[in-house]
Chains A and B, each alone.
Chain A
Amino acid sequence: MSPPPPVVRLRDRCIIGASLLPPVALLMLAARAGWVPVPVRYCLMAMPLVMGFGMLLPSVFEPWHRWLSRGQSWLGRRLVFLVLLAVYGLALVPIALLMRWAGQRPLDLARSGSSWVKSKGYGSLRDPF
């Protein structure tokens, strides 16, 4: 595999620097809860320093940034999956049951009879619907 290209753009340096902030933020939360003996204001002061450090040495922190991005995307996918499961259960299923109660079924699930449907034409080519 070829090595990743060197980080030169300011935007990329900022992104890599910012990727160092979540651990400091976690440390700050732990300090606020009294789980670690570090004053909260030190954590706040450390944030710009850590970010600047990341911006100055992007190649050192680039693997961490990649790992964090992968983790975020993994977590994001799972969260989206769970949210959509909830949407399905809380919104789609009730609507479907209401439609059925009102005698409407989007799918033709009858067991007999012709299934031919007269075509209504292809519609305009300009429309994506």
Chain B
Amino acid sequence: MRYVLGISGLYHDSAAALLGDGRILAAVQEERLSRRKNDARFPLRAIRSCLDQAGIGAADLAAVAFYEKPILKFSRTLEVFLGWAPRGARAFARTLPEWLGGRLDIRGRIRSALPGLPTGCPILFTTHHEAHAASAFLPSPFSEAAILTVDGVGEWATTAIARGAGGVIDPIEEIRFPHSLGLLYSAFTAYCGFRVNSGEYKLMGLAPYGEPTWVAPILDELICLNDDGSFRLNLEYLDPLADDHLTHRRFHERFGGPPRRPEDPLERRHLDLARSIQVVTERAMLGLARRAHEQTGARRLCLAGGVALNCVANGRLLREGPFDDLWIQPAAGDAGAALGAALAAWHGPLERGGMAAPRAPSPSDAMEGGFLGPEETPEAIESCLKRWEAVWERLEPDVLLDRVVEALIAGQVVGWVQGRMEFGPRALGHRSILGDPRNPDMQSRMNLKVKFRESFRPFAPAVLAERSAECFGLEGESPYMLLVAPVAESQRIPVVEEAEGLDRLKQRRSTLPAVTHVDGSARVQTVDRGRNPLFHALLRRFESATGCPVLINTSFNVRGEPVVSSTDDAYRCFINSRIDVLVVGPCFLERDCQPHTSLPGSFEALPD
């Protein structure tokens, strides 16, 4: 078997992915193992985990691929400073040591991380958007598609359109830095008091509470959306070289005050700004999709890049865009680019240094349900629980499912750890916290008492794929929780008088109140037996007992913590939060029986 290792990192969300004869064998984000959220360090642990999962060593690798061209990116960085001078002196003095301290010598870094790597093993470099495009198209079920990649910035490109056919990706056109939709969204994220490169989804969750009152000023002064789908930013309002805030004084004056600090209360203005930038992003994405359709003539679209994690925009693309079908890489951010780099090297043409392997798209997709991380054996799980002197019962699968359903019906919150860990930001039923969506108090309880996070944050429903149409207005499947769809009319409860702002949270809008967002939508995960048999069986069992084919599914972590990976992480999180029941593999644990009330956390907490 020929193995190709893909690596992304040194900016944010480092990761590694391993292919064996073109099949995705493993993919892991560094943060899950290092326990530092959005870990940007070189992914040594993730690389080791991928090799261990395949049972191979560095000597077995046929190629290693990195997700960026470091020298091209460095030259762009210098050119940006030349274009930005005399502003940017502090950013220059802060950025340059990182580059000179090892970001340029990626080959050396990879060789020292993989001591047994044969000298003849090539180390290859894709461009940033090539890696995203490859991660979007090559694992997709489509033999031919348009590819749209949108993120902050790669080398120069911030947005790119390509055409994929067979195993070949042809780049068509791109929009270059500083005109970046990702940068604009991040600027509003920072302005509203959330952390850049991780708080964008909070801004998206906040949007439905506000009104789009700032859309006109944003379109008049900040971003110009052209008829051809392209856009231009007005750099007088932004400071793209500042890592932490990204906005200029003029921005603060125009949008009503200084940036919100994380500990400050959310004002009406922040809700309206969140809604407005969301509306502008959706319009821009629809324009880009139309352009991609014109340029490629394709009927299907593949999407990746950080902006592709905006599932509200994705839902609109599917409903209102020119394409018949859409496939989004579940790890659409930079972590997924590790996988893209490996796939681009595997299928890339010989004359470019690739391995020219043919591609045969699988009817579902090649992502193995997104379950590409490590897993523990029942013996390893029990050995870990023993170390903590935990109290557990080892149950047969049937009994286990019954006990979990009983707990859920009793209004308890269940931590659920099964099989291989997910790759990508969403928990898809292998590292999840589960709850009963019919319970109207469940959203605020899980937000405030279990996950210790903001009360406005919505929860996502996991629904049996075969019954999703009855509960949600979703055509087709959404196995990776990347599409937002309206809750079906049959489930809706009319709201007599609409409240304002965050008070809307208290109003019941459907028979599934815990997963219905204030605009009547939900970020749906459809669960099918093929990809996720045990979770499917659990949903079936819950449906048999209650008639409801839906569960709340949120990631198994607390605020500031990466999603749990091992039994050890899960047990500590279980003890330190108010999760009532923990299920790890066949082991069933109840909070009240445990000898601990608190344990040292397994992670490095980061501020919002």
Interface residues of A (CB under 8 A from B): 77, 80-82, 84-85, 87-89, 92-93, 95-97, 99, 105-119, 121-129
With A109-B235, A117-B173 already in contact, the answer to whether A92 and B85 are too (CB < 8 A) is: yes
CA distance A108 to B230 in the complex (A): 13
Asked if B126 is at the interface of the complex by the 8 Å CB criterion, the answer is: yes
Q: Lowest 9 CB-CB distances: which A-B pairs, in order?
A: A107-B83, A96-B85, A119-B171, A125-B353, A129-B71, A84-B93, A106-B79, A106-B83, A125-B124
Q: Tell whether, in the assembled complex, residue B97 and residue A84 are in contact, meaning their CB atoms are under 8 Å apart.
A: yes
From B176-184, B361-369, B421-429, B488-496, give the one contacting chain A. B176-184
Would you give 27 A-B contacts (Cβ < 8 Å), ordered by A?
A: A85-B89, A88-B88, A89-B86, A92-B92, A105-B83, A107-B83, A111-B224, A112-B232, A113-B226, A114-B226, A115-B226, A116-B174, A116-B229, A117-B173, A117-B175, A122-B126, A122-B127, A122-B169, A123-B69, A123-B127, A125-B348, A125-B352, A125-B354, A126-B124, A126-B125, A127-B125, A128-B69
Return the chain A residue nearest B133 by Cβ: A122
Asked if B96 is at the interface of the complex by the 8 Å CB criterion, the answer is: yes
Chain B residue contacts of A124, Cβ below 8 A: 352-353
Chain B residue contacts of A89, Cβ below 8 A: 86, 89
CA distance A95 to B235 in the complex (A): 21
Contact with A along B94-122 (1 / 0, CB 8 A): 10110000000011000000000000001
Return the chain A residue nearest B104 by Cβ: A128
Q: Tell whether, in the assembled complex, residue A81 and residue B93 are in contact, meaning their CB atoms are under 8 Å apart.
A: yes
Chain A residue contacts of B174, Cβ below 8 A: 116-117, 119
Asked if B598 is at the interface of the complex by the 8 Å CB criterion, the answer is: no
Q: Tell whether, in the assembled complex, residue B72 and residue A93 are in contact, meaning their CB atoms are under 8 Å apart.
A: no
Chain B residue contacts of A123, Cβ below 8 A: 69, 127, 352
With A106-B82, A111-B234, A119-B171 already in contact, the answer to whether A125 and B126 are too (CB < 8 A) is: yes
**Shortest distance in angstroms between A127's beta carbon and chain B's nearest beta carbon?**
7
Cβ-defined partner of A116 (8 Å) among B81, B92, B169, B173: B173
Residues of chain B in range 401-434 having any CB-CB distance to chain A below 8 Å: none
Q: Tell whether, in the assembled complex, residue B86 and residue A96 are in contact, meaning their CB atoms are under 8 Å apart.
A: yes
**Shortest distance in angstroms between B154's beta carbon and chain A's nearest beta carbon?**
11
CA distance A125 to B348 in the complex (A): 8
Chain B residue contacts of A108, Cβ below 8 A: 176, 178-179
Cβ-defined partner of A117 (8 Å) among B85, B169, B176: B176
Chain B residue contacts of A115, Cβ below 8 A: 175-176, 179, 226, 230-232
- Given contacts A81-B94, A115-B230, A125-B344, could you give 10 more A-B pairs where the C-beta distance is less than 8 Å? A92-B85, A96-B83, A106-B82, A107-B178, A116-B229, A117-B174, A122-B130, A122-B352, A125-B348, A126-B122
Q: Tell whether, in the assembled complex, residue A118 and residue B173 are in contact, meaning their CB atoms are under 8 Å apart.
A: yes
Asked if B242 is at the interface of the complex by the 8 Å CB criterion, the answer is: no
Q: Tell whether, in the assembled complex, residue A93 and residue B228 are in contact, meaning their CB atoms are under 8 Å apart.
A: no
Chain B residue contacts of A105, Cβ below 8 A: 83
With A99-B82, A115-B175, A119-B171 already in contact, the answer to whether A80 and B106 are too (CB < 8 A) is: no
**Shortest distance in angstroms between A62's beta carbon and chain B's nearest beta carbon?**
26
Cβ-defined partner of B81 (8 Å) among A92, A97, A117, A127: A92
Q: Tell whether, in the assembled complex, residue A107 and residue B177 are in contact, meaning their CB atoms are under 8 Å apart.
A: yes
Cβ-defined partner of B232 (8 Å) among A87, A110, A121, A126: A110
Interface residues of B (CB under 8 A from A): 65-66, 69-72, 75, 79-86, 88-90, 92-94, 96-97, 106-107, 122, 124-127, 130, 160, 162, 169, 171-179, 224, 226, 228-232, 234-235, 291, 344-345, 348, 352-354
Q: Tell whether, in the assembled complex, residue B82 and residue A96 are in contact, meaning their CB atoms are under 8 Å apart.
A: yes
**Shortest distance in angstroms between A116's beta carbon and chain B's nearest beta carbon?**
5
Return the chain A residue nearest B105 by Cβ: A128
CA distance A52 to B173 in the complex (A): 66
**Shortest distance in angstroms between B238's beta carbon and chain A's nearest beta carbon?**
11
CA distance A83 to B570 in the complex (A): 47
Chain B residue contacts of A93, Cβ below 8 A: 85-86
**Shortest distance in angstroms between A37's beta carbon and chain B's nearest beta carbon?**
43
CA distance A17 to B366 in the complex (A): 58
Listed residue (B83, B171, B172, B234) with the most chain A CB atoms within 10 angstroms of its CB:
B83
Chain B residue contacts of A95, Cβ below 8 A: 82
With A84-B93, A112-B224, A127-B125 already in contact, the answer to whether A119 and B82 are too (CB < 8 A) is: no
Q: Tell whether, in the assembled complex, residue A85 and residue B352 are in contact, meaning their CB atoms are under 8 Å apart.
A: no
Q: Tell whether, in the assembled complex, residue B83 and residue A109 are in contact, meaning their CB atoms are under 8 Å apart.
A: yes
With A117-B174, A119-B160 already in contact, the answer to whether A125 and B65 are too (CB < 8 A) is: yes
Q: Tell whether, in the assembled complex, residue B171 and residue A122 are in contact, meaning their CB atoms are under 8 Å apart.
A: yes
**Shortest distance in angstroms between A83's beta carbon and chain B's nearest beta carbon?**
8
CA distance A106 to B78 in the complex (A): 10
Return the chain A residue nearest B83 by Cβ: A107
Q: Tell whether, in the assembled complex, residue A126 and residue B353 are in contact, meaning their CB atoms are under 8 Å apart.
A: yes
CA distance A112 to B176 in the complex (A): 14
Return the chain A residue nearest B240 by Cβ: A107
Return the chain A residue nearest B124 by Cβ: A125
Chain A residue contacts of B176, Cβ below 8 A: 108, 115, 117
Cβ-defined partner of B71 (8 Å) among A88, A106, A126, A128: A128
CA distance A119 to B156 in the complex (A): 11
Cβ-defined partner of A85 (8 Å) among B93, B226, B354: B93
**Shortest distance in angstroms between A105's beta carbon and chain B's nearest beta carbon?**
6
Q: Tell whether, in the assembled complex, residue B228 and residue A116 are in contact, meaning their CB atoms are under 8 Å apart.
A: yes
